[in-house]
Structure 1
Amino acid sequence: MANTFVLLIFKHFVDEDLLALTQHHRVAIFHRMFSLRNKLLPFLHPGSIKMDADSKALYELISLNHLQLDLSEDLTKNDIEEFRYHSKRILTALFPAKSSSCLIQHHIIQYNTNQVHMYYIQHEKINDWKCSNQPIILYFHGGGFVFGDIDTYSCFECHLSKSLNMLILHVDFRLIPEYSLEETIEDVINIYKILLDADSNIHRRLIGMGDSSGGMLWIYLLQWIISNNKPVPQGVILHSPWPNLEYFDNVRFSTDNYLSFRLVYNLRQLVIGKDANWFEMTDEELSKISPKDNSYKGFPPLYITVGTNEISIDAIHDMTKKMELSGVEVTLDEGEGLMHTYALFHMWSPQGFPPLYITVGTDEISFDAIHDMTEKMKVSGVEVILDEGEGLMHTYALFHMWSPQSGWIQEKIRQWIREKLLIGMQSKSDVKRVTKNPGCI
């Protein structure tokens, strides 16, 4: 009912050419429509008291335009491909458009007899990370170990690289069910070995980042690093991380359309094997595919984001407490009423882009009606920039204005990264002997 009301109100302001717009255009436009409705008529979509209007609008868009992700118990190859298709469709619709200045290089890196696919992502120019002191983000993507690739994440990572002014290393690890989770873990461990072999001090300029199951990979990797007496990164950022595979046994009910109760169970079953019984798995078997529940001593500083509406909120709270008791420096940033990995969808800082950017063309929207609507928005406390001219509908800034609530996280994370890298570079300058990569001489 509320959505019908919004569409009726805004019908006269939307040009017929809207149907021909790209997916990014349509999502941005309807997000703004719902957001304005939430500001003017908040009782139509109450949500959480602390949840801002833009975040409510995004949550509503996901619920309305995308079916709840799901996997059945008896999976076929076609089911997996269908799941990957819909997952990619959701993420690519919500990630920012890729800037023309973003460069992506594919590399196949050999470690002993194994090959790992990795992508270098940076703006304007990709520097050789082996022969420079530039800071690096090592990114492990989410997707329940089943989906996720460079095509899905490159838009987000391009934005991340530009926002942080850092090189992003995207690890395209092997996925389930074509490969086992042990092989996935082997890929991320090998990548870390490769980085250290190239530069024994690379950890001093390295920040880890991962979302969802990619966060679990980072937790597993950190435990491996410490148990093998390797140096840890300067810090790791985890967006809605899976603490381990056991947390699924103690999750709360959630209406989260992105990560449901049923989905996580079926993902876990896919991970351990169709015929395996989770409750009969031995500790030795678990140790090969899941982080230990209470082994966090020696971890680097962590920055963790989590939505209060996601099923893993209690497990992440529990994990965070155990980390703090182990002496780990943890920053926990909670998005009130928000969904799983919400921080990935709200990384557009209001300082970098205006909260609302409206363009108007003479062939698209009524000039007088737009002026009238803009004035009403300003009276309602909405910050608006009205850009008048031909063809400006396709401006880049229009596509990346989601939620100020978690947009603030971007600036906090940026500052957090700067602090951790500064500590790392200062300690590096104190190292008297530095072993150089022979290939850089």
Structure 2
Amino acid sequence: MIRPDVQALLEQIPPESGTPTAEAVRESMRMLATVVDLPEPPLATARMLETAPLPTLLLDRREHRGAGPVLLWFHGGGFVFGGIDTHRSLAADMAQRLDLPVLLVDYRLAPEAPYPAAVDDAEDVARWLATSPSELDREVTGLVLGGDSAGGTLTIVTAMALRDRPAEVPVVAQMLMWPATDLVGKYPSQREFANGYLLTDESRAFYQDAYRPVITDVRASPMQGVFTDLPPAVVLTAGLDPLRDEGRAYAAALITAGVPTSYFEAVGNIHALGLLRKAIPSSVTDIAQALNALKAQIGGLA
């Protein structure tokens, strides 16, 4: 069952035509973000960090903090588009709701920087953050890793890397929104929602051709990995998303491995719903439920 506000948006989206280019996709998504997403909420802190290994935006509802965890967010976009400009409002909303500092990262994009550039960038910035850089003006006691879509892939593989070779502080939680977890497996949702639900077969093929991953590599398909001893997780999928079933599979694998996991599904909603909150107002509740679960997981750490 599709939600009325989702149906209304999908009826306004023209069908795909022609062969896209990376720059055309990036520009259209930047423009779209100003139309379909909510404005950024006001925060006490919103500044670029000068010493980070990648362009990184710090967002915080407070100006000063004591020691505590920090949320590091990896944006979605098929490893081809997305960044601070498209995800700033969502990241600011998370900073507001969680009362945590949020770092939003511009990792390198394909096709200019194909696989595994984004993976390497994600691990590099996580290890840098774990050192409590002085520019952050707070002692980092733990990392909360999070990401949407392709950023979900980066979240999982970074959590795996820091489990296998720990950073200076632990990863205390992971937050996945409509994550891409498996380029190898075949799932019913891939066929069921291949066309007509925003993320299409054609666009997914375009992103993969640009990114050029080794699909059997765990850093491209984290479902090929080992899930024991990963940090507690919150997983949010969308009910009408071709990636829905691989998100479900990842949550199930965590639970089977004994990892504390909260799972939510935005029934009747579509991929990238967190960037469509103005066009799909019901998405606000979906995001809030997942963030409340994450807040409960971190508990007294903040």
Cα distance between partner residues in 2 of 1:328 and 1:187 = 26
Q: Which residue of 1 aligns with 2:11?
A: 64
Stretches of structure 1 lacking an aligned partner (at least 5 in a row): 1-47, 274-280, 347-398, 426-441
Counterpart pick for 1:164 among 79, 87, 98:
98
Deviations 1:247-269 (A, max 9, x none): 46872231443211221122112
Q: 1:401 to 1:249 in 2, by over 3 A?
A: closer
Counterpart pick for 1:325 among 256, 265, 272:
256
Q: Which residue of 2 aligns with 1:314?
A: 245
Q: Which residue of 2 aligns with 1:296?
A: 227
Q: 1:420 to 1:287 in 2, by over 3 A?
A: closer
Cα distance between partner residues in 1 of 2:101 and 2:156 = 22
Q: Which residue of 1 aligns with 2:173?
A: 235
* 3-state SS, counterpart of residue 198 of structure 1: coil
Aligned residues: 295
Deviations 1:4-54 (A, max 9, x none): xxxxxxxxxxxxxxxxxxxxxxxxxxxxxxxxxxxxxxxxxxxx1xx5xxx
Alignment RMSD (CA, Å): 2.9
Would the aligned equivalents of 2:79 and 2:150 in 1 still touch at CA under 8 Å? yes
Deviations 1:48-100 (A, max 9, x none): 1xx5xxx4223422x2333356783xx6xxx2211112222333322211345
Deviation at 1:158, TM superposition (A): 2.2
Deviations 1:391-426 (A, max 9, x none): xxxxxxxx69811xx43334433432332222546x
* 3-state SS, counterpart of residue 178 of structure 1: coil
Deviation at 1:162, TM superposition (A): 2.2
Cα distance between partner residues in 2 of 1:288 and 1:160 = 26
Counterpart pick for 1:191 among 125, 149, 172:
125
Counterpart pick for 2:272 among 337, 341, 358:
341
Deviation at 1:245, TM superposition (A): 2.7
Q: Which residue of 1 aligns with 2:182?
A: 244
Cα distance between partner residues in 1 of 2:182 and 2:18 = 20
> Which amino acid counterpart does residue 187 of structure 1 have in structure 2?
D
Q: Which residue of 2 aligns with 1:173?
A: 107
Q: 1:260 to 1:420 in 2, by over 3 A?
A: same
Deviations 1:359-405 (A, max 9, x none): xxxxxxxxxxxxxxxxxxxxxxxxxxxxxxxxxxxxxxxx69811xx
Give the structure with higher Rg (CA).
1
* 3-state SS, counterpart of residue 234 of structure 1: strand
Cα distance between partner residues in 2 of 1:184 and 1:325 = 28
> Which amino acid counterpart does residue 97 of structure 1 have in structure 2?
P
Cα distance between partner residues in 2 of 1:99 and 1:332 = 27
TM-score of the aligned structures, taking structure 1 as reference length:
0.60
Q: 1:196 to 1:259 in 2, by over 3 A?
A: same
Q: Which residue of 2 aligns with 1:416?
A: 293
Q: Which residue of 1 aligns with 2:87?
A: 153
* 3-state SS, counterpart of residue 109 of structure 1: coil
Q: 1:108 to 1:287 in 2, by over 3 A?
A: farther
Cα distance between partner residues in 1 of 2:159 and 2:18 = 30
Q: Which residue of 1 aligns with 2:284?
A: 407
Would the aligned equivalents of 2:144 and 2:174 in 1 still touch at CA under 8 Å? yes
Stretches of structure 2 lacking an aligned partner (at least 5 in a row): none
Cα distance between partner residues in 1 of 2:186 and 2:207 = 10
Counterpart pick for 2:28 among 65, 86, 97:
86
| More RCO (CA 8 Å, sep 6+) | 2
Deviations 1:92-145 (A, max 9, x none): 3222113455642112435xxxx311111124x544x7xx32442211100001
